[in-house]
Structure 1
Amino acid sequence: MQTGWVIEVEPYRERPALVAGAELWTRTAEGGEFRILPDGCMDLMLIDGALYVAGPDSRAWTGEAPRGTKYAGVRFAPGSAPAFLGVPARELLNQQVLLGDLWSPNRSRRLADRIRSAPDPATALDQEVAKLVDTPPDRLISQVLRSVRDGLLRGSAGVSRLAGAVDLSERQLHRRCLDAFGYGPKMLDRVLWMNVALDHARTGLALADVATRTGYADQAHFTRDVKALTGLPPKLLLS
């Protein structure tokens, strides 16, 4: 029997984690299906007492959990989890695996035991992860993310410009991005900007205005990209 868990009225909550750029989240399943959208992130999750790693997603997926299933997770910023896990992101693309499959069984079991025995397992997960993160930020990852944020990867020459700026060939840049993010720079750009656009759409902004504000050619382009990545057009996804 797990201790320290309380089923809250709100099924999902998040706050900044102790690790820079990460989020600590908790969720209690309401039962039935749920949809997870690609966001460029990787998570270390405690699900009913077992530790799992969720790799980066290139497409949305649906899952199902019994009502009352308890989750807590640290969602790492894009590109930061592989150094913590010791595994390239490309090896975990579209996968969810037990932490024990990546680390030694003893190491992962000791970590899970410390978290499970704490009065508040979610806080313990946050604290234990922070103790284990000792890798300084990767300058290449920071530059790639900055280029995405600034819209510099848009257009046919965006990747070439970035490769030149970091003194790598396009092939080398693509390989480094696969290791860090699970996909290449153009796919990373699509995923991250889709999430920015959806956040705008959730405020009630018209989809045509969302498309213009976030760099899509038009609303049809935005709709096609969202459907390609999530399986649903924006109106249905957000309904």
Structure 2
Amino acid sequence: MYEERPALLDGAVLWTRTAAPATEGTRPVLPDGCMDLIWAEGHLLVAGPDTHAYPPAETAARYAGIRFAPGDAPGFLGVPAHELRDRRIALGALWGEAEARRLGERITEAPDPAAALDALVRRRAAGAPAPDPLLRAVVARLAAGRAVAETADAVGLGARQLHRRSLDAFGYGPKTLARVLRLQRALALVLAGVPQAEAALRAGCADQAHLVRETRALAGTTPGAYAASVAASANSETPDPSGSRTTA
């Protein structure tokens, strides 16, 4: 079972998950522009920003995670996002094995591992650079469907500057981030019952065929198949939502 709630860290989300046996219907994690710090029964892992669907592989029975707002995790982790793109790695590879083990044990001993993750991140964030309001403006504009060139002009950056800063903050350039956020908008509309052709136009796609191509490229499925898998998960005793970034 999967649950999520707002974190105390600005813009972040806490989630917990009890793993179920893998089945053919298990849904992959879809790109969302975010990065996660994950506790997997004593082990701490980092899920980098994805450019394609990631098939979950269970390594523990219980998980807790904190999902950072797009662009916020690199300052906390101390590594540019593009170095973690499409990767799941142990936190020890970034912070050292001894420190990661100590933190993992502390979170394991807590009655609520997700809340303990939130507290850890807030303590560490106090000594890290604050999220860049310019990059948050970039995310907000792209999430609203603004064009990349228009967004660059609005925040006062040239195309190359925006691309370079996006690689460090989001893991990929602004055009890829815009595609990922557009896909999330479109699928949310489809799940809300909006016809695919209308959802495509409202999300910013040229037409329904464009939406289908983008969904295949980024999610490895079609909008209809994705909606059907969500409905199947909702009717299951152990739903496997696409937001939980379990890792091999």
TM-score under structure 2 normalisation?
0.85
- Pair 1:52-2:45 in alignment: yes
Which residue of 135, 145, 163 maps to 1:141? Answer: 135
Trace 1:48-87 onto structure 2 (pairs within 5 A).
Answer: 48-65=41-58, 69-87=61-79
Residue 235 (structure 1) shift: 0.8
Which residue of 113, 123, 129 maps to 1:131? Answer: 123
Residue 47 (structure 1) shift: 0.8
Give RMSD over aligned pairs: 1.5
Q: Which amino acid aligns with 2:30?
A: L
- Secondary structure of the residue aligned to 2:71 is coil
Q: Which moved more, 1:90-99 or 1:112-121?
A: 112-121
Which residue of 39, 43, 48 maps to 2:36? Answer: 43
Residue 53 (structure 1) shift: 0.2
- The alignment covers a number of residue pairs equal to 223
Q: Which amino acid aligns with 2:73?
A: A
Q: Which moved more, 1:91-100 or 1:224-233?
A: 224-233
Contact 2:138–2:155 at 8 Å: present in 1 too? no
Distance 1:64 1:136 in 2: 33
Q: Which amino acid aligns with 1:22?
A: A
Identity rate, percent: 50
- Secondary structure of the residue aligned to 1:51 is strand
Residue 231 (structure 1) shift: 1.0
- Pair 1:221-2:221 in alignment: no
Cα deviation per residue 1:123-182 (whole Å; 9 max; x = unaligned)? 2112221221123220221121122133222xxxx32x3333434331221111000000
Distance 1:164 1:199 in 2: 28
Which residue of 69, 80, 87 maps to 1:88? Answer: 80
Gaps of 5+ in 2: 229-248
Distance 2:10 2:51 in 1: 24
Distance 1:177 1:120 in 2: 34
Contact 1:40–1:57 at 8 Å: present in 2 too? yes
Q: Which amino acid aligns with 1:23?
A: V
Q: Which amino acid aligns with 2:140?
A: R
Counterpart position of 1:101: 93
- Secondary structure of the residue aligned to 1:62 is coil
Q: Which amino acid aligns with 2:42?
A: G
Judged with a 3 Å threshold, the aligned counterparts in structure 2 of structure 1 residues 146 and 27 are, in CA distance, closer, same or farther, namely same
- Pair 1:31-2:21 in alignment: yes
Distance 1:128 1:165 in 2: 35
- Pair 1:190-2:179 in alignment: yes
Counterpart position of 2:10: 20
- Secondary structure of the residue aligned to 1:61 is coil
Distance 1:34 1:63 in 2: 8
